[in-house]
Structure 1
Amino acid sequence: MKIETLIQQPEGRDLEFKEILPSKADLNKTIVAFANDSGGILLLGIKDVPRAIVGIDESDLFKLEESISASIIDSCSPTILPDISFLRVGDKYLLKIKIAKGNNPPYHLKSKGIEAGTYIRVGSSNRLANQELIEELNRKRNNISFDSLPVYAKALETVNLDTLEKHFDEKAKEKLTPTILKKLNLIYQEHGNNYPTNALILLSDDILKEQIFPYSKIECAKFKGDIPGDFIDQKTIDGPLSIQAEQAYQFVLRHISKNSEFEGVYRKDRWEYPIVALREVIRNAIIHRDYALSGKDIKIAIFDTKIEITSPGNLLPTVDFNEMDSGQSDIRNRILAPIFKKLGIIEQWGNGLQLIANELKDYPEIKFQWSQPGMSFRISFIKSQIKSEKTHVHEINEERLRTTANDYERLRTIANDYEQLSLEQKKILLFLIENEKITRREVTNLIAVRNTKAYEILNAMVKTELITMFKEGRNSYYILKNS
């Protein structure tokens, strides 16, 4: 990247600007944090706010280079070798310190030791690593993934694998035998004994999953407005990992609209948001989240004008969401990922980001945005002011079909499975609560559909025993089943 472009970038995980050389302690914290993560660049001679090139006196460059090199080599352990260079922009000089991703973490300040001197990057700041993160850095050095670690608290033969066995039988067309478990590295052998791995416990129905990994769940919520607060609906998905993606995906579908239009005699449906992209992001959130981080779960938040999906753990340093068409692939959970592929949850390595990028081209009104708040990775699908023609045609009908938090409470009293109701069904049920009965013609006006579509919706509601049909001569009407 050219220096003119680089200095226009925001500070972040791998980039920091300083007007003057920081203190020795602050400098080395940044260097250690870069080495523990994906590497980074520190540029001296640039004022951050407001961004401006102030430069460094040319006569000081070599003296600064020697001072910085000596400080890093003397203060950081294991040894970090900085790549220091001078840059000229116009008539001003900058000093660039480039740190490569370290292959021997955890890097730390010698004077503080590993526990008190290991730093990581969180956004554009340096943070002291806790014991969990230090252990993760040790695993990274030894090329060990967290999901491969053994769980000694329970004998393998007592682990409840009912759901996983059923899925393997249905999707992989094979029995989940001890031989298969061993082949998939889901068991750990030690001194002649077999133990479940973290991956197997996460995939299990066992009560031990709740005890060891209470946050291996997805919290889903539909909020009223555009900030967390009043919710219309919520759901906790805490079963085996193999079923979480589908359940979360269905929750999202229940709370976004699907529009229809006709091209000749053919009907074409279009969702409010790009559902293929949403599905891929949900899958990625589950398979790539950091299960070693305690106290953090996946969150799916649906607002009036955006959907946010937040997963614990920073983006892997080898993946760049700014290059989504390049077929990138990297794996944090090396045991879980092949299982997901075997069960059909992951279709093909490296094509997830391409699927997202391709579908977003058909949704110019949706802004795709990613960020890394704290030790998390967040994807946002945001409605912009640009509306496609298809969306604009059905905008009024969508607004008419929206339900409120008060509606939610009323419907819960007459529908056992509120989450399965479509927006049209909710509107009809609310009408019946207030008016006792409804005709097919009234339904066509209420939800703005044709007569045949109204018949299909009403007939389905009769079959599911939500409503009952009565006839008066040649006319018919519908009432609530239990009224």
Structure 2
Amino acid sequence: MKLYESETDKGLKPTGVYVRSGTTSAPASEDAIRMMIKMTDGDSFEANRSLVQELTFNRLDEELKKRGLEFTEVQMKNLGILSSDDIYTNMGLLVSDQCKHSIKFAIFQGTDKLVFKDRKELTGSIFVQLTDAYKTIDFYNGTKATFHDLLRTDERDYPEDAIREALLNAIVHRDYSFSGSTFINLYSDRLEIISLGGLVSGLSLEAAMMGASQPRNEKLASLFYRMKLIEAYGTGISKIISCYKGLSVQPKFENVEGAFRVILPNTHAQQLSVEDQKYLQILRLFENQKEITRSDVEEALGIGTTHAINMLKEMLYKDLISKVGNGRLTRYMAK
């Protein structure tokens, strides 16, 4: 197998990278080219020269000063931001204000992707993206109050430490040789964070669950460690699992070729049995309004008054909803 760049002036194929096998050749895909580069130069994305050399580091400088850390030219070389011949590396591009990668955030109505409630793309320095992503999730992270005698306890839908660890893992360990974005999808019953690259070659999901770790971006992981954003390699997944200890719902971790997904369940989302799935459409009405009426149910399901009354009575009996008021002023609230 040989690689060559075609010559347009000889009437051959357009300029590009081709893979020749025997007497035939075919254009190489971006993934194939990426793998060939890694095979010849090693998986050293961070150390490679950045194609963008006009870089600024205002946010990084600000974050380092908060932690009492210096950011001199010597430090830039020690961190791998600047090469020995004073050329900015891809590591430099990643932590610069001109970072080319982004996080795409989507909030969906319900448990599927049929209806968008909001969407945004977070750009700029990865430190800006990290902060903005956490703040956006926190804005939508509901709070449920429970009372034990006179003591009130507030619990968030998603444990804050689990969110933090999942975000940090996605940023520190994704494969930045892919140009695509990191995805954060928020549904009524779960939060999903999908990062490109999957686990490094040779590291299984089972090994990662045990605490084994091999940072793909060693310089970036080292910087985050110095900044005390991460405490130790290999602890992220175990911390996330610990956040859900003793709860009826548990986080999930999925690794496929090219991507890694963390699924954090909403600790307060109602888990309906198969028998109770018929009430799901009524429960979804509460996603847009605090209270509903019998008329709302009739309109949403296209049913008559008697059918709607019977369904609401069943939901009251099953403790899925509560009743407020009487007569024409009767309203219903989700439990």
Q: TM-score per shorter chain, which class?
A: 0.5 to 0.7
Say which of 244, 253, 256 aligns to 1:360.
244
**Separation (CA, whole Å) in 2 of partners of 1:244 and 1:292:** 18
What aligned pairs does 1:184-263 form with structure 2 within 5 A after superposition? Answer: 184-190=79-85, 194-206=86-98, 209=99, 213=100, 216-263=101-148
Q: CA deviation at 1:321?
A: 3.3
**Separation (CA, whole Å) in 1 of partners of 2:235 and 2:23:** 44
TM-superposition CA deviations, 1:57-82 (whole Å, max 9, x none): xxxxxxxxxxxxxxxxxxx99xxxxx
Q: CA deviation at 1:242?
A: 2.0
Q: From the superposition, tell whether residues 344 and 235 of structure 1 become closer, same or farther in structure 2 (CA, over 3 Å).
A: farther
Say which of 150, 154, 157 aligns to 1:272.
157
**Separation (CA, whole Å) in 2 of partners of 1:324 and 1:201:** 28
TM-superposition CA deviations, 1:232-278 (whole Å, max 9, x none): 12221112112322321221222232212234554332222333223
SS in 2 for 1:358: helix
Match of 2:64 in 1: 168
Match of 2:35 in 1: 133
Alignment of 1:328 onto 2:212: yes
SS in 1 for 2:46: helix
Normalized against structure 2, the TM-score is what? 0.68
Alignment check: 8 A CA contact 2:182 2:194 kept? yes
Q: From the superposition, tell whether residues 152 and 219 of structure 1 become closer, same or farther in structure 2 (CA, over 3 Å).
A: closer
Alignment check: 8 A CA contact 1:318 1:330 kept? no
Alignment of 1:145 onto 2:44: yes
Largest Rg, 1 or 2? 1
Q: From the superposition, tell whether residues 137 and 259 of structure 1 become closer, same or farther in structure 2 (CA, over 3 Å).
A: farther
User: Does 1 or 2 have the higher relative contact order (CA < 8 Å, sep 6+)?
Assistant: 2
Q: From the superposition, tell whether residues 164 and 369 of structure 1 become closer, same or farther in structure 2 (CA, over 3 Å).
A: closer
Alignment check: 8 A CA contact 1:148 1:334 kept? no
Q: CA deviation at 1:382?
A: 4.3
TM-superposition CA deviations, 1:155-211 (whole Å, max 9, x none): xxx52111111111002x023110111111211123xxx0111111111113xx3xx
Match of 1:346 in 2: 230
**Separation (CA, whole Å) in 2 of partners of 1:128 and 1:205:** 26
Normalized against structure 1, the TM-score is what? 0.48
**Separation (CA, whole Å) in 2 of partners of 1:291 and 1:174:** 26
What aligned pairs does 1:462-481 form with structure 2 within 5 A after superposition? Answer: none
Structure 2: 5+ residue stretches without partners: 3-18, 273-282, 290-330
Q: CA deviation at 1:386?
A: 4.9
Alignment check: 8 A CA contact 2:47 2:89 kept? yes
TM-superposition CA deviations, 1:120-171 (whole Å, max 9, x none): xxxxxxx9952123223334xx3x42012122642xxx52111111111002
**Separation (CA, whole Å) in 1 of partners of 2:126 and 2:192:** 20
Aligned residues: 265
What aligned pairs does 1:95-134 form with structure 2 within 5 A after superposition? Answer: 111=22, 129-134=31-36
Alignment check: 8 A CA contact 2:199 2:255 kept? no
AA at the equivalent of 1:186: I
TM-superposition CA deviations, 1:278-299 (whole Å, max 9, x none): 32111111111111112x1101
TM-superposition CA deviations, 1:331-381 (whole Å, max 9, x none): 111221111112222122221121012122233224524142x62222223
**Separation (CA, whole Å) in 2 of partners of 1:336 and 1:291:** 11
Structure 1: 5+ residue stretches without partners: 1-75, 78-107, 119-126, 388-397, 405-444, 449-483
Q: From the superposition, tell whether residues 324 and 375 of structure 1 become closer, same or farther in structure 2 (CA, over 3 Å).
A: closer
**Separation (CA, whole Å) in 2 of partners of 1:363 and 1:245:** 27
Alignment check: 8 A CA contact 2:110 2:284 kept? no
**Separation (CA, whole Å) in 1 of partners of 2:219 and 2:255:** 26
Q: CA deviation at 1:222?
A: 0.6
Match of 1:301 in 2: 185
SS in 1 for 2:77: helix
**Separation (CA, whole Å) in 2 of partners of 1:161 and 1:333:** 19
SS in 1 for 2:127: helix
TM-superposition CA deviations, 1:427-465 (whole Å, max 9, x none): xxxxxxxxxxxxxxxxxx9999xxxxxxxxxxxxxxxxx
Alignment check: 8 A CA contact 2:250 2:264 kept? yes
SS in 2 for 1:376: strand
Match of 1:286 in 2: 171
**Separation (CA, whole Å) in 1 of partners of 2:206 and 2:27:** 33
**Separation (CA, whole Å) in 2 of partners of 1:258 and 1:322:** 33
Match of 1:473 in 2: none
AA at the equivalent of 2:134: Y
What aligned pairs does 1:409-428 form with structure 2 within 5 A after superposition? Answer: none
**Separation (CA, whole Å) in 2 of partners of 1:274 and 1:116:** 50
What aligned pairs does 1:328-407 form with structure 2 within 5 A after superposition? Answer: 328-372=212-256, 375-382=258-265, 386=271, 402-403=287-288
